[in-house]
Amino acid sequence: MSRKNQTLGEFIIENQSSFKYTSGELSRLINSIRLAAKVVNHEVNKAGLVDIIGAAGDTNIQGEDQQKLDVYANEKFIQTLTNRNIVCGIASEEEDDFISINSQDENNQNKYVVLIDPLDGSSNIDVNVSVGTIFSIYRRVTPVGTPVTIDDFLQKGNQQVAAGYVVYGTSTMLVYTTGDGVNGFTLNPALGTLYLSHPNMQFPEDGNIYSINEGNYNHFPQGVKDYLKYCQKEEDNRPYTSRYIGSLVSDFHRNMIKGGIYIYPKSSKNAAGKLRLLYECNPMAYIAEQANGKASDGFTRILDIEPTELHQRVPFFCGSTNMVEKAEEFMQNAE
Ligand code: AHG
Ligand code: MN
Ligand code: MN
């Protein structure tokens, strides 16, 4: 259920009962992410002032160290989720190992673990281009009241109970799913309130945008090279348009609204591509599927891949269903 002028807070409460586990714990968790996102948003918006208020590594006027934004975002998300005692474990792209939160305490009945890419597209910060945050939520598989283990984090993407992203763009949006479609909320910065602006988001079945770092063309597998030639051919509604921001969140967000495909393939330089299965590909794949799109590694559905390590990388093809299927066809034919 959604209505005009609905805030994220209202939406979470009103939709809590449609979620199959209705303890309210997941709602509190999404609320914490909402809070951390606003704090990070505030800091991201000040990034352009860095030469005035001091660069990373400097000490600011209060004697505090200035931090790089990805470190800052990482700390804020971890702090918010830890302080509010909402989850039993966190894994972050910025941390070598997972973090266990009071999970050996028998009073801690928290059932959820969160995996995050606190700042995605971080190379874009210095040039005032959109960045994002990606999150992925699972129920732990080990018993409550015991320390979390690696098994709680190495779950297949199809076990996710919620996933979402924040895009810090021309406006800031939080987009998420709990397995019942995808909804987008836009921040009104004057009020600090997120309003439902994009109910029930859907990838168009087809599209005409392809997003890939074509500078790596010579290193791509033959199937990707062939697909790119197909995208560029003067035929039917092609050539397609090429758009690549270099922030997965922003490229995905545009493609979901307009129709398109994002590809980060393996290459002769990176045998498994660049993107991380647990922090980037699984959450985006879950959102894509919930929005009628598709995500694969070129051959296999992303959400069915069995993770073997926390920072595992996989090739990523994600977007409008017909486009992803076409790209897969080229991958298979080139085998
Ligand atoms: P992160 O900033 O979290 O390391 O992720 C950057 C990712 C992704 O957002 C983006 O699409 C891709 O890396 C860009 O990589 P290239 O510069 O190799 O194209
Ligand atoms: Mn990233
Ligand atoms: Mn990152």
As a whole number of angstroms, the distance between CA 214 and CA 225 comes to 10
Query: Do residue 265 and residue 285 come from a single domain?
Result: yes
Cβ 248 under 6 angstroms from ligand 1? yes
> Residue 289 sits in a domain of what CATH number?
3.40.190.80
| Average confidence (pLDDT) over 274-303 | 98
Q: Mean pLDDT score of the chain, rounded to an integer? A: 92
pLDDT digits (tens, 9 = 90+) for 205-254: 999 999 999 999 999 999 999 999 999 999 999 999 999 999 999 999 99
Query: Do residue 223 and residue 309 come from a single domain?
Result: yes
CA distances 95 to 38, 140, 146, Å, are 22, 19, 22
> Residue 181 sits in a domain of what CATH number?
3.30.540.10
As a whole number of angstroms, the distance between CA 241 and CA 66 comes to 40
Give one DSSP letter per residue of 30-76, joined into a string: HHHHHHHHHHHHHHHHTGGGHHHH--TTSB-TTSPBP--HHHHHHHH
Atom of ligand 1 at shortest distance to CA of 93? 3
**Which residue minimizes the CA distance to atom 6 of ligand 1?**
121
pLDDT digits (tens, 9 = 90+) for 119-137: 999 888 888 899 999 999 9
What pLDDT is recorded for position 22? 61
Query: Do residue 260 and residue 156 come from a single domain?
Result: no
- Ligand 1 binding pocket mutation candidate from 243, 275, 281, 317 (most atoms within 8 A of CB): 275
What pLDDT is recorded for position 55? 58
- Which of 198, 232, 254 marks a domain boundary? 198
Query: Do residue 216 and residue 291 come from a single domain?
Result: yes
What pLDDT is recorded for position 193? 96
Beta bridge partners of 165: 134, 175
Query: Do residue 13 and residue 106 come from a single domain?
Result: yes
pLDDT digits (tens, 9 = 90+) for 48-89: 776 655 556 666 555 556 568 889 999 999 999 988 878 999
What is the maximal distance between C-alpha atoms in the chain?
64
What pLDDT is recorded for position 50? 66
Cβ 147 under 6 angstroms from ligand 1? no
> Ligand 2 centre from 306 Cα, in Å?
20
pLDDT digits (tens, 9 = 90+) for 303-325: 999 999 999 999 999 999 999 99
| Average confidence (pLDDT) over 133-150 | 95
Task: Report the share of the chain in percent with pLDDT over 70.
Answer: 91
- Which of 140, 166, 198 marks a domain boundary? 198
Q: Which amino acid, residue 149? A: T
In a domain, 49, yes or no: yes
Domain range for residue 98?
8-198
Query: Do residue 77 and residue 160 come from a single domain?
Result: yes
- Of 43-52, 189-198, 323-332, the range with the lowest mean pLDDT is 43-52
What pLDDT is recorded for position 46? 84
What pLDDT is recorded for position 294? 98
> Ligand 1 centre from 121 Cα, in Å?
5
> Ligand 1 centre from 120 Cα, in Å?
7
If one compares 4 and 271, the residue with the highest pLDDT of the two is 271
As a whole number of angstroms, the distance between CA 277 and CA 257 comes to 23
- Ligand 1 binding pocket mutation candidate from 247, 262, 267 (most atoms within 8 A of CB): 247
Q: Answer whether residue 44 shows pLDDT above 70.
A: yes
Query: Do residue 47 and residue 170 come from a single domain?
Result: yes
Please tell me the total count of domains within the chain.
2
As a whole number of angstroms, the distance between CA 38 and CA 44 comes to 10
What pLDDT is recorded for position 116? 98
What pLDDT is recorded for position 179? 94
- Candidates 44, 29, 8; CA nearest to 188 is 8
* Spatial contact of 34 and 80, defined as CB atoms under 8 Å apart: no
* Spatial contact of 292 and 205, defined as CB atoms under 8 Å apart: yes
